[in-house]
């Protein structure tokens, strides 16, 4: 996923990379949510909402993306992994 962000940063007008990024991110979120569900981890509903809001926000963008948008997406992902995903990493 991070490679796709880097690729999009180098070529922000590439709509195929953006589509792939949305697909990979969405799939990653679904997988993570299923693992959370199986592990009976609390906070799944809220976590799912946060994922959905991010994907909904991505759907409002269309290439060519400006630097601020690419930066915001990368920043969101890093912050999300560090703050929310890491809470459960040992339990999945
Ligand atoms: Fe997550």
pLDDT value of residue 88: 87
Distance from the alpha carbon of residue 73 to the mean position of ligand 1, in angstroms: 14
d(CA 75, CA 54): 12
- Domain 2-88 is classified in which CATH homologous superfamily? Hemerythrin-like (1.20.120.50)
Q: Tell me, what DSSP letter sits at residue 11?
A: -
Distance from the alpha carbon of residue 53 to the mean position of ligand 1, in angstroms: 12
Pull the structure tokens for residue 38: 């199986």
**pLDDT tens, residue order, the chain (92 aa):** 889 988 998 999 999 999 999 999 999 999 999 999 999 999 999 999 999 999 999 999 999 999 999 999 999 999 999 999 999 888 88
Q: Ligand 1 (ion): which residues have CB within 5 A?
A: 85
List, in sequence order, every beta strand (DSSP E) within 1-92: none
* Matching residue, tokens 């690729």: 7
d(CA 30, CA 13): 27
pLDDT value of residue 21: 95
The C-alpha R_g of the chain, in whole angstroms, comes to 14
Distance from the alpha carbon of residue 12 to the mean position of ligand 1, in angstroms: 24
pLDDT value of residue 1: 83
């Amino acid at each position: 996923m991070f490679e796709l962000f880097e690729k999009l940063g180098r070529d922000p007008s590439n709509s195929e990379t953006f589509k792939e990024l949305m697909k990979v991110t969405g799939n990653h979120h679904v997988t993570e949510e299923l693992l959370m569900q199986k592990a009976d981890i609390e906070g799944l509903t809220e976590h799912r909402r946060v994922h959905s809001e991010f994907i909904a926000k991505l759907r409002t963008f269309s290439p060519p993306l400006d630097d601020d948008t690419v930066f915001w997406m990368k920043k969101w992902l890093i912050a999300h992994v560090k703050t929310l995903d890491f809470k459960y990493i040992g339990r999945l």
